[in-house]
């Protein structure tokens, strides 16, 4: 036994311990920070487009990109927490659209009903999240299939519910785009502030609370999570309900973008959010990633679209670029995961 | 003679038509390393799973410090002070060492930050983790904030054992802790086991590694055909005799009850 202790001492001495030093820790943390990748991609794209196009960095354009980010950005937050648990949500756009329809129909023509209608919208979206959460956590069915089914059902339900475009009046529902803060010429709407606050709140919950660590643990290794005493099924349920609430928030944001709502709106929201999440550095295998990265991912897609449009490139190429980016991001994730093994 | 900490009487566990455990007894005494050995299929894993709450026995009783206990889940056993190190380690690889140590038992900040915002006391958890590593004399880990997937197999095993030792107030159970490790790493884990019993917590060691068992165990529980065939002291028998009892080539020696730790 003493012999082995000596061996251990030898081994420790042979590898000089530099990680304890302060400089090493800070550098380490910086390079290990998962937001670094998407953030540098965003900065590079912004620099690139501002060199090669005339108006990209103009006050109007940057303010517009931020405003465009609110709906997909908020939906992507819900998508992120679900993907962190190793799941995926194909129904998020459909849940949000049904939410907007319910709210719009209730509030149409009656100004005073806008706030109660919005609250009902939150309930509807949370219940839909609860349903997929219950099926995933209690029956143990794969989230891909569950949410694909829910997507199909909800698309029909929305069209049965209303076939027309429903308009809402200006009021609390459209408030998110009607006001904001002006920094010189640069406008930041309440919607943008709200999406930033949502990112911050969720980031806090995921990194600074036990719930957040349990979300990561469940996505990392659900058996391990269970054995350490974590109630895996309750964590999953909470994640799907939270995602539903975030989709309702996205519905509110959507009214800010446009007072007209229809069952055909946001047909590709689910894929757009998965794109944002993946580009933002979150692993589709679960357990790794950040909500901040997902929001940056949503911004990257918008920056590319805006920049390529300004450069006069056919919009079809924008989708090709986005697609390539998604595959590259997943490949990067897969490679780093293999290295970690 | 040390008092019995964990005891099981007449445990029966069936899986369909297969009776994995057929009226097995078990006892673990304070401060000892009790090795549990047995051929594949002898039912030792099932017996251990009953003790750690992973499965519920069909019959028989489990007593912890003389009191009957009924574990429905590993969580129940953990609450009672029994920690298990699983063969597949039960860790979240993307999270760091300190986070894994406190997974499911996080410490919240004091005051409103903790009670309203439910904020974690990361500093406290890290310093306690560091202290735990120091107490167990673990020197092979560089930093407590390293993610677990950056660790070698032996280091991961070390973390898993440290976690069990930190929270296992009464019993630590280890299922094949050295099976996936190299010689030097195995040695580190065996040393760790001795250090845990040095703090007074008894360890149940399930292992196929007979030389390792002979090195660390105070007593050896030999499981055969769903029952306890014998309990022997490594000093009284050779490895060949023990393997003989385990496989049925030799008859079991004197009644188990007489064999107590030295």
For A34-64, the pLDDT digits (tens) are 888 889 989 999 999 999 888 888 888 889 9
For B53-87, the pLDDT digits (tens) are 888 999 999 999 999 999 998 889 989 999 998 87
Answer yes or no: is pLDDT of A28 > 80: no
The percentage of residues in chain A with a pLDDT greater than 70, rounded to a whole number, is 89
Query: What per-residue confidence (pLDDT) applies to A239?
Result: 98
Q: Does A22 touch chain B (CB under 8 A)?
A: no
Structure tokens at A50: 């501002």
Going by pLDDT thresholds of 50, 70 and 90, the confidence category of residue B251 is confident
Question: Cβ A221–B105 below 8 Å, yes or no?
Answer: no
Quote the pTM value: 0.85
Answer yes or no: is pLDDT of A6 > 60: no
Query: What per-residue confidence (pLDDT) applies to B80?
Result: 92
A335-to-A215, B93, B151 alpha-carbon distances in Å: 23, 16, 18
Query: What per-residue confidence (pLDDT) applies to B156?
Result: 87
Question: Cβ A213–B106 below 8 Å, yes or no?
Answer: yes
User: B1-81+168-262 maps to which CATH number?
Assistant: 3.40.50.300
Contacts of B208 (CB under 8 A, 6+ apart): B37, B176, B179
Question: Cβ B187–A208 below 8 Å, yes or no?
Answer: no
Q: State the nearest Cα–Cα gap between A341 and chain B, in angstroms.
A: 7
Nearest neighbour of A228 by CB, restricted to B94, B103, B140: B103
Query: What per-residue confidence (pLDDT) applies to A322?
Result: 85
Where in chain B are the domains?
1-81+168-262, 90-166
Query: What per-residue confidence (pLDDT) applies to A185?
Result: 81
CATH class of A36-335: mainly alpha
CA-closest candidate to residue B5, choices B161, B172, B167, B220: B172
ipTM exceeding cut-off 0.85 for this assembly:
no
Query: What average pLDDT does the structure give for chain A?
Result: 87
Residue by residue, DSSP assigns chain B as -PPEEEEEEEEEEEETTEEEEEEEEEEEETT-EEEEEE-TTSSHHHHHHHHTTSS--SEEEEEETTEEE--SSHHHHHHTTEEEE-TT----TTSBHHHHHTTTSPPBPSSHHHHTS-BB-HHHHHHHHHHHHHHTT--S---TTSBGGGS-HHHHHHHHHHHHHHH-SSEEEEESTTTT--HHHHHHHHHHHHHHHHTT--EEEE-S-HHHHHHH-SEEEEEETTEEEEEE-TTTS-HHHHHHHHHTSS---S-GGG----
Query: What per-residue confidence (pLDDT) applies to A339?
Result: 63
Answer yes or no: is pLDDT of B200 > 90: no
Going by pLDDT thresholds of 50, 70 and 90, the confidence category of residue A31 is low
Higher pLDDT, B261 or B61: B61
Answer yes or no: is pLDDT of A5 > 50: no
Going by pLDDT thresholds of 50, 70 and 90, the confidence category of residue A16 is very low
Identify the weakest region by mean pLDDT among A72-81, B25-34, B159-168: B159-168
CA-closest candidate to residue B79, choices B53, B59, B108: B53
Going by pLDDT thresholds of 50, 70 and 90, the confidence category of residue A301 is very high
Sort out which chain B residues have CB atoms less than 8 A from A209's CB and list them.
Answer: 117-120
Going by pLDDT thresholds of 50, 70 and 90, the confidence category of residue B254 is low
Where in chain A are the domains?
36-335
Sort out which chain A residues have CB atoms less than 8 A from B190's CB and list them.
Answer: 4
Higher pLDDT, A23 or B39: B39
Answer yes or no: is pLDDT of A18 > 50: no
Query: What per-residue confidence (pLDDT) applies to B257?
Result: 52
């Amino acid at each position: 036994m003493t012999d082995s202790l000596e061996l251990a001492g030898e081994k420790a001495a042979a590898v000089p311990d530099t990680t304890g030093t302060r400089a090493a820790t800070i550098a380490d943390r910086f390079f290990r920070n998962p937001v670094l990748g998407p953030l540098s991609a965003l900065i590079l794209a912004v620099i690139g487009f501002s060199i090669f196009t005339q108006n990209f960095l103009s006050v109007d354009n940057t303010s517009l990109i931020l405003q465009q980010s609110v709906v997909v950005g908020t939906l992507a937050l819900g998508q992120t927490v679900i993907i962190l648990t190793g799941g995926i949500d194909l129904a998020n756009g459909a849940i949000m659209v049904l939410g907007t329809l319910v709210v719009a129909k209730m509030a149409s023509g009656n100004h005073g009903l806008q706030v109660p209608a919005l609250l009902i919208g939150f309930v509807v979206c949370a219940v839909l999240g609860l349903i997929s959460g219950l099926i995933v956590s209690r029956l143990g069915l794969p989230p891909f299939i569950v949410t694909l089914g829910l997507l199909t059902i909800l698309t029909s339900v929305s069209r049965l519910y209303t076939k027309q475009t429903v308009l809402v009046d200006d009021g609390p529902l459209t408030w998110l785009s009607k006001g904001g803060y002006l920094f010189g010429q640069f406008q930041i709407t309440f919607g943008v502030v709200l999406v930033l606050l949502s990112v911050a709140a969720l980031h806090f919950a995921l990194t600074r609370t036990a719930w957040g660590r349990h979300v990561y643990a469940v996505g990392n290794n659900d058996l391990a999570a269970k054995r350490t005493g974590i109630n895996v099924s309750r964590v999953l349920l909470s994640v799907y309900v939270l995602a539903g609430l975030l989709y309702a928030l996205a519905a509110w944001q959507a009214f800010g973008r446009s007072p007209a709502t229809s069952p055909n709106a946001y047909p590709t929201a689910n894929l757009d959010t998965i794109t944002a999440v993946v580009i933002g550095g979150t692993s589709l295998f679960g357990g790794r990633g950040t909500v901040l990265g997902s929001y940056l991912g949503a911004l990257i897609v918008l920056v590319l679209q805006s920049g390529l449009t300004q450069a006069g490139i056919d919009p079809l190429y924008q989708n090709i670029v986005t697609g390539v980016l998604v595959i590259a991001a997943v490949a990067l994730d897969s490679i780093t995961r293999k290295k970690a093994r | 003679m040390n008092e019995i900490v964990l005891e099981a009487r007449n445990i029966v566990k069936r899986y369909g038509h297969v009776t994995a455990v057929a009226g097995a007894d078990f006892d673990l005494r304070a401060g000892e390393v009790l090795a549990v050995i047995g051929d594949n299929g002898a039912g030792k894993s099932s017996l251990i799973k009953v003790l750690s709450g992973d499965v519920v026995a069909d019959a028989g009783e489990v007593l912890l410090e003389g009191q009957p206990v009924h574990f429905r889940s590993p969580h129940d056993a953990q609450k009672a002070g029994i920690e298990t190190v699983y063969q597949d380690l039960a860790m979240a690889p993307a999270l760091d060492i300190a986070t894994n140590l406190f997974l499911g038992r996080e410490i919240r900040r004091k005051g409103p930050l903790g009670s309203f915002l439910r904020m974690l006391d990361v500093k406290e958890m890290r310093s306690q983790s560091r202290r735990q590593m120091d107490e167990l004399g673990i020197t092979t880990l560089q930093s407590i904030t390293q993610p677990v997937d950056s660790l070698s197999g032996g280091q991961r095993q070390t973390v898993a054992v440290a976690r069990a030792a930190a929270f296992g107030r009464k019993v630590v159970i280890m299922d094949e802790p050295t099976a996936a490790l190299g010689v030097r790493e195995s040695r580190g884990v065996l040393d760790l086991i001795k250090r845990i019993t040095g703090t007074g917590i008894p360890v149940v060691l399930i292992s196929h590694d007979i030389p390792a068992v002979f090195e660390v165990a105070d007593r050896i529980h030999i499981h055969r055909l769903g029952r306890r065939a014998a309990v022997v002291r490594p000093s009284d028998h050779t490895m060949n005799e023990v393997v003989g009892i385990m496989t049925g080539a030799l008859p079991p020696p004197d009644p188990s009850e007489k064999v107590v730790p030295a």
